[in-house]
Amino acid sequence: MTTHLVWLRNDLRINDNLALHAACRDSDAKVIALYLSTPEQWQQHDMSPKQAAFIHASLLEVQSALAERGIPLHYQACHAFSDSIDALAEFCEKQKVDQLFYNYQYEVNERQRDARAEKRLDDAGVICQGFDDSLLLPPGSVQSGDRSMYKVFTPFSKAFVRRLQQSLPECVPAPKPREGSPLKVTPIPAFDYPTKAFDEDLFPAGEAAALKRLRHFATKPVIDYPAKRDLPALDATSRLSVYLATGVLSPRQCLHRVLHEHPDALDNSRAFTWLNELIWREFYRHLLVAYPALCRHQPFIDWTRNVEWQRNDAHFDAWKAGRTGYPIVDAAMRQMKALGWMHNRLRMITASFLVKDLLIDWREGERYFMQQLIDGDLAANNGGWQWAASTGTDAAPYFRIFNPTTQGERFDEKGDFIRHYLPELADVPDSDIHQPHVWAEKHHKKLDYPAPIVDHKAARKKTLDAFERAKSAA
């Protein structure tokens, strides 16, 4: 009997898992699964304690689901990232594995690890098969006319949609129960890594919860998404990002569910607005493969290396703590600290404030977000921060600078979101909630809330000057 091994990583599901599906095609093969934790690598990559806890909870769910189908999930802790290759090879030898099945990861360290692992196993006579599982279309399959990776999102999105309209990627079913199912389960032990409790009502672990949320969102909420997605006081986004980031849900499942409910979703219907966010996710992952330097904290636009960033620990600490004196920024930062999650519009506002108002290096913010977010994802996080910092692939020039006050007025007009996270502003009227100190001074009130740490108009000019000097020096 041949033995097939599924090496699970960021693909903690049994439905539409390409590696798992391929491993189970041969009904006579023995199928086993393996998960290797790498706490040292997680630390180096700033994985948040909430994400670590979510991964562990999701791992327990997939362990039970596999056991129901007669597939044991083995677990081993490998503190150093390089140790995982030795652990994998030794496991394959011990279990007499004939074939390895795994889904690709696209970060540069992970790609190098997988190449070394394949060579090691190939030398040992183990056949390795990898799959583009976490994307709708493989990296390099959507290219511009000169056969290069698109550097701007809009033409990439248009070309991507044309490819989907020609042929949709298929979803594959969960494996059928195999001989000996169900198996008894010994739960995987806690990770040797800091974990922090996450809100299980907002982010219930496991693919059953993810699929339930997807099915609900794909009905009416996805149609309302274009009108409501920028309003943080509303529960109008999908909140599926954590499931996509950890592989509890696949992008193909998302695409097919939306198309099931709205067959015209690829034809610029209202449902397309959310699908386009999935394409943004694809764009940033395709970029990681085309430009590996993005994984190494390098800007996409070369001349922006010359920007003279400020080192101001007091300002950085105030930003992290939600004590900048700009209510929409502070409420957003406190939301992230409380939930390990932040509304997407607020991610843009807070990132813009750190880079364009405080002139602090975008990489400091990128790292802090990864340390906090339950849905932390290198490609999306890096892409978003470089977009905000005008160092990335965005077509807009560097002088796009969000005004934090007007952003608050536009997207949280009455301050409902702000008051939820800034209870010290509970008594400030709607009309003054975005500039509470102006109101307090006028009415001789005392607020337990800091004054703005910078003047936006002056900060904007300072940032523009810094970028202009950097561009001139190129």
- For the annotated catalytic residues, the residue numbers are 277, 280, 309, 344, 362, 385
Q: Which strands make up the sheet holding 30-37, listed edge to edge?
A: 73-77, 30-37, 3-8, 99-103, 127-131
Asked if 8 and 35 touch (Cβ cutoff 8 Å), the reply is: yes
Distances (CA, A) of 173 to 6, 73, 317, 381, 393: 16, 19, 48, 30, 36
What six digits make up the tokens of 243?
A: 């499931």
Task: Check the CA dihedral 449-455-460-466 and report its sign.
Answer: negative
Using alpha carbons only, give the angle 281, 283, 287 rounded to the nearest 5 degrees.
120
On the question of a cis peptide bond just before residue 39, with omega within 30 degrees of 0, the verdict is no
**Dist. CA 23–CA 20, nearest whole Å:** 5
Q: Of the candidates 137, 37, 20, 153, which has an alpha carbon nearest to the alpha carbon of residue 87?
A: 37
Maximum distance among all Cα pairs of the chain, rounded to whole angstroms = 82
Q: Kindly tell me the burial class for residue 303, based on how many C-beta atoms sit within 10 Å of its own C-beta (0-12, 13-18, 19 or more).
A: middle
User: Could you tell me if 274 and 239 are in contact, meaning their C-beta atoms sit under 8 angstroms apart?
Assistant: no
- Give the up-direction half-sphere exposure of residue 76: CA atoms within 13 A in the CB hemisphere: 18
Question: 421 near 338, Cβ under 8 Å?
Answer: yes
The residue whose two tokens read 């511009």 is 144
Nearest residue to 1 (alpha-carbon basis) of 97, 81, 71, 83: 97
Q: What is the CA radius of gyration of the chain?
A: 24
Counting beta carbons within 10 angstroms of the beta carbon of residue 269, is it exposed (0 to 12), middle (13 to 18) or buried (19 or more)? middle
- DSSP strand pairing (99-103 vs 3-8): parallel
Residues in contact with 170: Cβ distance below 8 Å, sequence separation at least 6, in sequence order: 252
CB atoms within 10 A of CB 433: 23
- DSSP-derived 3-state class of residue 393: coil
